[in-house]
Amino acid sequence: MRRSCAPCPNSSSPAPSRPHGPEQPSGVGPPRHQPDVPDTSAALHRLSRLPDGPERDALRQEVITAWIPLAERLAYRFRNRGEALEDLQQVAALGLMKAVDRYDPERGSSFPSYAIPTVVGEIKRHFRDHLWGLHVPRRVQELRNKVRVSERELLHGVDSHGPTVAEIASHSGLTEDEVLLGMEAINSFSTLSLDAELPSSDGCTLVDALGCADPATEKVIDREAVKPCLRRLPARERHILYLRFFHDMTQDQIAHTMGMSQMHVSRLISRTCARLRQEVLLDV
């Protein structure tokens, strides 16, 4: 969409203020058609012929300054996608500088036709390389974008149900497996904080749903390791250990049950445990 021409600098009426970008610098020509589409063709031709030095640096800065409003307008198109507008404008400015440095007027193409794809490509590259919460291959990112666009185009109203996988596949030209892969990637762009509250959970957060290390895990491993050794024990020693460690009986209670002294029970437990420990270590 083209805007009306900017007022002539020599006009008596005051020029409207612009919220973004500096004033048109001298030496690069007056704005044409749009305030952010200046005529810098002469400056760009001159820039391509100048050797490195202060004069070229100054002219380069003038050209970049003249096109900064266009870069900011392109950045504005990508707002509300999880990145601050100020950061997107910086990325767009970087893309603009690359376009100015790489543009060759001898190729015949206009500078806007070269600069706009360069700036937009820099912004998209920024999203692809820096803003995904999880590492997702570029092909999957492209599938995600196609699926998202198709979902929006197929959604006919606020109250209508979302399109099915088959409908999205037919509309986008993808297979159903590719659609499912793209739908999975939609949730990979941004991650939720562990402190985020779960829907309909009465204040429960994601961290509340996470499991924790079971302190009994190591005991399970030890029990499995000692089982073969326990089977090789004499029946009396095995029964004493069973009463002590599984029924939590004291040595006095075991002595009364087995008809022996507490001292003898103590020696049997110590000797049997030492034997088991030695056998387990040998098996390891």
Q: How far apart are CA 259 and CA 24, in angstroms?
A: 106
User: What was the pLDDT predicted at 8?
Assistant: 39
Q: Are 239 and 249 in contact (CB under 8 A)?
A: no
Q: Is 127 exposed, middle or buried (0-12, 13-18, 19+ CB in 10 A)?
A: middle
What is the identity of the amino acid at 42?
A: A
| Fold classified for 138-209 | Arc Repressor Mutant, subunit A (1.10.10)
Closest CA to 229 of 274, 267, 168, 173: 274
Tens of pLDDT along the chain (284 residues) come to 334 444 433 443 344 433 333 333 333 333 344 556 788 889 999 998 989 999 999 999 999 999 999 999 999 988 877 678 898 899 999 999 999 999 998 888 899 999 999 999 998 888 776 665 556 677 877 888 888 888 888 876 545 577 888 888 888 888 988 888 888 777 666 566 677 777 776 778 877 777 777 777 777 888 888 888 888 899 999 999 999 988 999 999 999 999 999 999 999 999 999 998 888 888 65
| Domain spans in the chain, listed from the N-terminal domain onward | 31-130, 138-209, 217-283
Q: Are 141 and 114 in contact (CB under 8 A)?
A: no
DSSP assignment of 135-157, as one string?
---HHHHHHHHHHHHHHHHH---
User: What was the pLDDT predicted at 96?
Assistant: 94
User: What was the pLDDT predicted at 115?
Assistant: 92
**CATH 1.20.120.1810 at 31-130, yes or no:** yes
Distances, alpha carbon 135 to alpha carbons 40, 121, 132, 196, in Å: 41, 19, 7, 22
Q: Are 272 and 229 in contact (CB under 8 A)?
A: no
Distances, alpha carbon 225 to alpha carbons 48, 51, 280, in Å: 78, 78, 7
Q: Which one is the CATH code of 217-283: 3.40.50.970, 2.60.40.10, 1.20.140.160, 3.40.50.300? A: 1.20.140.160
- Give the tokens for residue 190: 């941004």
Fold match between 31-130 and 217-283?
no
